[in-house]
Amino acid sequence: MSSYILKRILMSIPLLITISFITFVFINLSPIDPVEVVLHAQGVPNITAELIAETKAMLGMNQPFMLRYLNWLVACLQFDFGHSYVTGKPVWSLLGPAFLNTLKLTSVSVIAIIALSVVLGVISAWREGKMMDKSIRGVSFFLTSMPSYWLAALMVWFLSVKLDLLPTSGMDSLKSYVLPVVVITISFAGVYFRIVRSSMISNMNEDYVLYGRACGLPERKITLHILRNSLQVAISVFGMAIPIILGSTVVVENIFAWPGLGTLSVKSILSRDFPIIQAYVLVLAVTFVLFNTVSDILNAAMNPKLRKDL
């Protein structure tokens, strides 16, 4: 098992290097001169040729491309992502808190998503084809297909403005978690509960269920067995839910003025704050690779057959 883990981790390194290189190339392909971006971002009202030359030297932009990339990569490995063009602060000092804020939101949402998908998936599978199953699927289809910004606006208007129950935005108290978490949960649970449901249904038709019933095992015990087996399939899906949600909070964060990665990335993209954009893409890529690796390892731990494939 440990050799599998080692191999799996080693495999992700070239992937990460490729991602970092592509990110760097893409940003350097931008037709806009980064030096001018820096100066515009800093609000310098008049950009002179001397100022451009001075800034270029200061940022090390006059070096060859590969050297710049290597310097950047080496620095990134030491958690030094450079300085924001706009604020001049170290990127990690902006990215770190934003990442934590998004992680807080994501963790609460993932727990809610898993709880809701499992409960709904089980009910739906158990009542397959019945009224209950149909209505759960219908409602979830309706809710998932609603754009999240619209759903969010609707909920803020009703729950915050009309009923005065919750704050409209910000990250001030426990209350401020409710609306963003509900919006994220609604847009994801509808998808994930289907996975639990179909996995449950396919397990229900397995021979061991028939055998259990034949042996007169109580229904509750049989359900637990089915659930345990179905969740094994769902683990890798749920494992990947965390990075997917981390990367897709942009809309929700912007609507709820949540000071997380989504808000930061939009702000950085609009102001062309390249060091932050680069670091943001890299951090997300690492998270994806990391969770992918972890869920592979978990799966392999549960199913020894998978280890041999590598």
Query: Which amino acid does the sequence have at 37?
Result: V
Q: Smallest gap, in angstroms, from Cβ of residue 74 to other proteins?
A: 25
Stretch that binds other proteins, among 36-44, 72-80, 198-206, 281-289 (CB under 8 A): 36-44
Give the DSSP H or E segment for 38. Answer: helix 34-41
What's the CA gap between 291 and 285, in Å, rounded? 10
**Under the criterion CB under 8 A, does residue 57 sit at the interface with other proteins?**
no
**Under the criterion CB under 8 A, does residue 104 sit at the interface with other proteins?**
no
Query: Which amino acid does the sequence have at 226?
Result: I
What's the CA gap between 9 and 248, in Å, rounded? 25
140 close to 219: Cβ distance less than 8 angstroms: no
CA–CA distance from 4 to each of 139, 286, 305 (Å)? 43, 20, 12
Shorter beta-carbon distance to other proteins: residue 163 or 215: 163
Query: Which amino acid does the sequence have at 91?
Result: V
> Quick one: which of 248, 201, 209 has its CA closest to 105?
248
Token pair for 80:
């030094």
**Under the criterion CB under 8 A, does residue 51 sit at the interface with other proteins?**
yes
Q: Smallest gap, in angstroms, from Cβ of residue 87 to other proteins?
A: 6
The site for other proteins, by CB under 8 A, has a size of 64
**Under the criterion CB under 8 A, does residue 257 sit at the interface with other proteins?**
yes
In sequence order, the 6+-apart residues with CB closer than 8 A to the CB of 263 are 98, 250, 253, 254, 257
What's the CA gap between 238 and 291, in Å, rounded? 10
Residues 76-95 that bind other proteins (CB under 8 A): 86-89, 94
Q: Smallest gap, in angstroms, from Cβ of residue 255 to other proteins?
A: 5
Token pair for 192:
């994930």
Contact pattern for other proteins over residues 188 through 227, marking x by CB under 8 A: ----------------------------------------
Binds other proteins (CB under 8 A): choice among 60, 97, 138, 147: 97
Shorter beta-carbon distance to other proteins: residue 70 or 161: 161
What's the CA gap between 247 and 233, in Å, rounded? 23
**Under the criterion CB under 8 A, does residue 33 sit at the interface with other proteins?**
yes
**Under the criterion CB under 8 A, does residue 255 sit at the interface with other proteins?**
yes
Contact pattern for other proteins over residues 137 through 176, marking x by CB under 8 A: ------------x---x--xx--xx--xxxxxxxxxxxx-
**Under the criterion CB under 8 A, does residue 177 sit at the interface with other proteins?**
yes
In sequence order, the 6+-apart residues with CB closer than 8 A to the CB of 30 are 272, 274
Binds other proteins (CB under 8 A): choice among 270, 305, 308, 309: 270
**Under the criterion CB under 8 A, does residue 109 sit at the interface with other proteins?**
no
Q: Smallest gap, in angstroms, from Cβ of residue 170 to other proteins?
A: 6
The torsion defined by the Cα of 289, 10, 297 and 249, in degrees rounded to 10, comes to: -10
113 close to 283: Cβ distance less than 8 angstroms: no
293 close to 4: Cβ distance less than 8 angstroms: no
Q: Smallest gap, in angstroms, from Cβ of residue 236 to other proteins?
A: 25
Residues that bind other proteins in the complex, under the rule CB under 8 A? 31-33, 36-37, 40-51, 54, 86-89, 94, 97-98, 115-116, 119, 122-123, 126-127, 132, 149, 153, 156-157, 160-161, 164-175, 177-178, 254-257, 259, 263-264, 266-267, 270, 272
